[in-house]
Chains A and B, each alone.
Chain A
Amino acid sequence: MALMFQSDVVQYVCTCGQLKPISLMYFCRHCLKLRCGYCVCHEVDSHYCSNCLEILPSAEARLKKHRCQTCFDCPNCLNTLAVRATTVSVRDPDDPNKVNSLKKYYHSCFFCRWTTRDVGLPDQAVQTVSANGWSQKGESNIQRINVLLEYVRLLGMQERHEREQREKKFTPRSRRTFTHHPGLTAAHVRKRAGLPPELPAPSTIRDNLAEFQPAVAKEEVASLPESIFTEELDIDQVTTLTQRLAQPETQPESIVDLIPSCKHLCTKRSQRCRGCEHNVSKPDLNPSSIKFKIQHAASFHVPEVRLVSVQPLIGSKECEIVIVFSNPSQQPTTISFITLEEAEAEAQEHTEVTPDTSVPQGEAPPSLSSLTRSPPVMEEPRPVSIAVTGDVNLPTADVEIVLAPKDDAAEYDDSSDTQQFHDDPQIVVHRRANKASLRLTVIPHADKAGQNCTIGFGFRYTYINRISTPASASFEPQKVQLSSRTFLNCGKIKESQ
């Protein structure tokens, strides 16, 4: 995948100013903007165990410390442990001459062949052992860890309290009046609004925080065991740092003290556009499904640029590169080139316009969520931090290249239909289905020999907006013109002779 989309060769500029390959970006169909992992809101939809695929509600997951109670990780290599069955013969307690065979279960790692028998854990009579089946040996840090967790939780509460106090002054009236809605308790409103439950009084939080005992540095430390001076150290018996930190409760020093730890849960997350709060990606809830309910990857909407070939790049000499544009949408799109500056100006203009169009005022029924959620975050896009080390001669902005719609069946169709496009053969060198190869000339900067030649350009493309806004009752797809900025890494610049 990374290779297919040339992840470090062609990078698009996200609305937030990040540079990303198109395969790692989303496209919001409402704001008509590119979004990347840094400028979407990530929400945890569900917790599940990647081994037994059980879904846990988030409250239960938190209660169980985000671990599955029936699956275990190998303490040695941290992969999943498998259950193995064996039969053992046990002498019948009533009749000493009779031998019963019993099924017993133990856990074993397929990767490093660690087994629960290695550390002397007894075989289990049932297939699903609970975590408590293996008791913690010796002293454990669990008490202290719980105290620390509680402390951090209180700190979080205090912080939230302060923030809410601050925000109260700026809360829009609509929300405040809503909390006094008859028939709804305050807690109920908070819950429906997706807000965390009411906090305890700040004085109680402060009192509880005061009870906390901080760690005290000791002058005297426990002396080393005698054996460390007399016995030869077997490095194979000592745990690695990774193994130790995987078991924070005990942090065993010797591999004989390793015990299986409950498997960490995985999450399914959905991504929400920061500008308009619509989902750009939402996975299927079922853990065994890899499908998405909503998946607006940028590569489904935005024309994709790939670098096909580059002539040797020599400082301040003209050299040819061939790039291919492909249209991922079901409608034809028209592409024209603009400079980076023009594209940046257009992007800024677009940012200023969107808030009005995306959240139509007064028209939409005031749903509870739109009233109580925090208003969309509007951020200044950061300047793009990439140094351009080559100039590119772009076709003029009036040169329009029409890309045919993507047709999945066209791949199997060999007939070429290039006649219907009136292309300048100097620019368009090849066409096939929804793709067009274009020839551009690049002049690498002479003083950048030895470095990678990075060129940048902007392009406009037409996009069919199929989203109906509640404002416009009569809906028909709108043709809009969008622009995007890309940076291409064309390879090393050679020394000019």
Chain B
Amino acid sequence: MSSQASHESKSKSDLKISDQALVCHESKLRGDITIGPNTIVHPRATIIAEAGPIIIGASNIIEEQAYIINRLRPGADPSIVQVMEIGSNNVFEVDCVFESSMMGNQNVLEVKSHVGPGVEISDGCIIGAGCKLNGNERLPEKSVIYGSDCARRIAMDKPPHPSLQIDYLTKILVKYHHLKKPRSAN
């Protein structure tokens, strides 16, 4: 992987899609983005690498209207490259917004949830539907944020693996959508 690609050149050549990944053509990808194997990007999902590259791991589902942005922080030095890393087996549900620079594995951002730039997400967390996180913190493992007051608890188990859903989507999405051609990261 050529990680030296400067973020200023936002040409499409910065897009690196793994062979096994499934990225729908109608999705909007801007900037230096790496998408790992078995990750599914639905149509109308948006991923924008503004302040630096976005590296997305394996087996993630990024649903319609999901918005992942590596935003240039106001007042930050634009010459410093800030990398956004997203692990594996995460689910970004419809219309969620993810602005943080760090996400571990097996997390779920439910519908219309919002994770602000200062919130690091570890592993197995669930951000409930409509919950907004805007502070500066690192969520402990298996945190569950739920309800209108964004109440918290620590769950016993991590959320289920999205593999079944990925298997289904890999079969069904290709039938109805054009895909972005995979361009292996070499």
Contact = CB atoms under 8 A, between A and B. Distances in A.
A188 B159 CA distance: 59
A390 to B, nearest CB: 38
Contacts of B154: 236
Contacts of A111: 128, 146-147
Interface string B145-186: 011000111111101000000000000000000000000000
B156 A112 contact: no
B146 A113 contact: yes
Contacts of A112: 128, 144, 146-147, 151, 153
A456 to B, nearest CB: 37
B146 A77 contact: yes
A407 interface: no
A114 B153 CA distance: 9
B151 A113 contact: no
Contacts of A113: 126, 144, 146, 153, 155, 159
A284 B54 CA distance: 56
Given A112-B147, A117-B157, A118-B155, 8 more contacts: A77-B151, A111-B146, A112-B128, A112-B144, A113-B144, A113-B146, A115-B156, A115-B157
Contacts of B151: 77, 112
Nearest to B142: A113
Interface of B: 126, 128, 144, 146-147, 151-157, 159
A236 B155 CA distance: 11
Interface of A: 76-77, 111-115, 117-118, 236, 255
The 7 A-B pairs with the shortest beta carbon distances in the complex, nearest first, are A112-B146, A118-B156, A113-B144, A113-B155, A111-B146, A112-B144, A77-B147
Contacts of A76: 153
A117 B159 CA distance: 14
Contacts of A117: 156-157
* Residue from A113, A115, A255 with most neighbouring chain B CB atoms (10 Å): A113
29 contacts: A76-B153, A77-B146, A77-B147, A77-B151, A111-B128, A111-B146, A112-B128, A112-B144, A112-B146, A112-B147, A112-B151, A112-B153, A113-B126, A113-B144, A113-B153, A113-B155, A113-B159, A114-B153, A114-B155, A115-B156, A115-B157, A117-B156, A117-B157, A118-B155, A118-B156, A236-B152, A236-B153, A236-B154, A255-B153
A236 B142 CA distance: 13
B131 to A, nearest CB: 11
A118 B146 CA distance: 17
A118 B144 CA distance: 13
Contacts of B152: 236
A121 to B, nearest CB: 12
Contacts of B126: 113
Contacts of A114: 153, 155
Nearest to A76: B153
A255 B157 CA distance: 16
Nearest to B154: A236
A495 B166 CA distance: 64
A113 B152 CA distance: 11
B146 to A, nearest CB: 4
A221 to B, nearest CB: 30
Contacts of B144: 112-113
B165 to A, nearest CB: 16
A255 to B, nearest CB: 8
A123 to B, nearest CB: 13
A77 B152 CA distance: 10
Contacts of B156: 115, 117-118
Contacts of A255: 153
A255 B153 CA distance: 10
Nearest to B126: A113
A118 B154 CA distance: 10
